[in-house]
Amino acid sequence: MIFQDVIFYIFATILVVSALGVITARNPVYSALLLVLAFVTCAGLWLLLEAEFLAITLVLVYVGAVMVLFLFVVMMLDINLDRLREGFWKWFPFGSLIALVIVAEIAMVVMGKDFGLEQMPAPEPQAADYSNTKALGRLIYTEYVYAFELAAVLLLVAMVAAIALTLRQREDKKSPNPSKQVRVKKEDRLRMVAMPSEKKK
């Protein structure tokens, strides 16, 4: 399929360029936005692989929720770019060492003998009524149910921990409590006093 190849190379180019932009952009807001672009093009690549559920979930979760909060934080921070770049050359050898290790690891996986088109030919294209979502749901809730539940519990624990770490109760805060306001009754605030009417002297 020449047409799909053309689309793949367009998406792949945008993906690589935007991913490079994420680490080279001077403005952190541009970095975050380029990361959003990288996610969206990645979702496009996944669509080419007929993984429509994962592609849409990638957009929904990472682009629609995670990156919004990221962008939020980045815009609120007052980052001094010069101070951020101060230690660049000092840490460059260490950073490049780590990068080399990662590249070597990826190369060992991708160029290994169990990986490649001979070992794993492209799967047959599915029929139009094939539901990716249903197939994924069947697998997750039958074969991989323990792993799935474990991951869910892990996320829940992380969420509870994050809330517990950042929750502080201030005694002197003056912000109104809406549920308290809604529950207020007339008797709580109004006291009727019986008193004789005064007479003019």
Partner 1 sequence: MMESIQQQFEQIFGAEWGGMLFSLATNMTFIFAIVVPLLLGVAYLTFAERKIIAYMQIRVGPNRVTFFGIPWLRGWGQPIADAVKAIMKEIIIPTGANKFLFILAPVLTIMPALAAWAVVPFSPEVVLADINAGLLYILAMTSMGIYGVIIAGWASNSKYAFLGAMRSAAQVVSYELAMGFALVCVLMMSQSLNLGDIVNGQQGGSMLNWYLIPLFPMFLVYLISGVAETNRAPFDVAEGESEIVAGFHVDYSGMAFTVFFLAEYSNMILMATLTAIMFLGGWLPPLDIAPLNMIPGFLWLLFKVAFVLFFFLWFRATFPRYRYDQIMRLGWKIFIPITLVWIVVIGAIMQLPDSIRDMPPLNIWF
DSSP-derived letter for residue 72 is: H
For the CA atoms of 59, 127, 12, 64, the dihedral, rounded to the nearest 10 degrees, stands at: 0
Q: Is 68 in the site for partner 1 (CB under 8 A)?
A: yes
DSSP-derived letter for residue 144 is: T
Site string for partner 1, 15-54 (x = CB under 8 A): --------------x---x--x---------------xx-
DSSP string, 159-192: HHHHHHHH----TT-----HHHHHH--HHHH---
Contact region for partner 1 (CB under 8 A) — 59-67, 80-88, 96-104, 155-163? 59-67
Residue numbers 71-100 binding partner 1 by CB under 8 A: 71-72, 75
Among 175, 194, 195, 200, binds partner 1 (CB under 8 A): 175
Q: Is 116 left (phi over 0), alpha (psi -120 to 50) or beta?
A: left
Contact region for partner 1 (CB under 8 A) — 64-72, 79-87, 149-157, 166-174? 64-72
Q: Is 56 in the site for partner 1 (CB under 8 A)?
A: yes
Shortest gap between Cβ of 160 and partner 1 (angstroms)? 16
d(CA 34, CA 184): 50
Q: Is 137 in the site for partner 1 (CB under 8 A)?
A: no
Q: Whose CA is closest to 134, among 42, 19, 52?
A: 52
Q: Which residues bind partner 1 (CB under 8 A)?
A: 1-3, 29, 33, 36, 52-53, 56-57, 59-60, 63-65, 68-69, 71-72, 75, 129-133, 175-176, 178-179
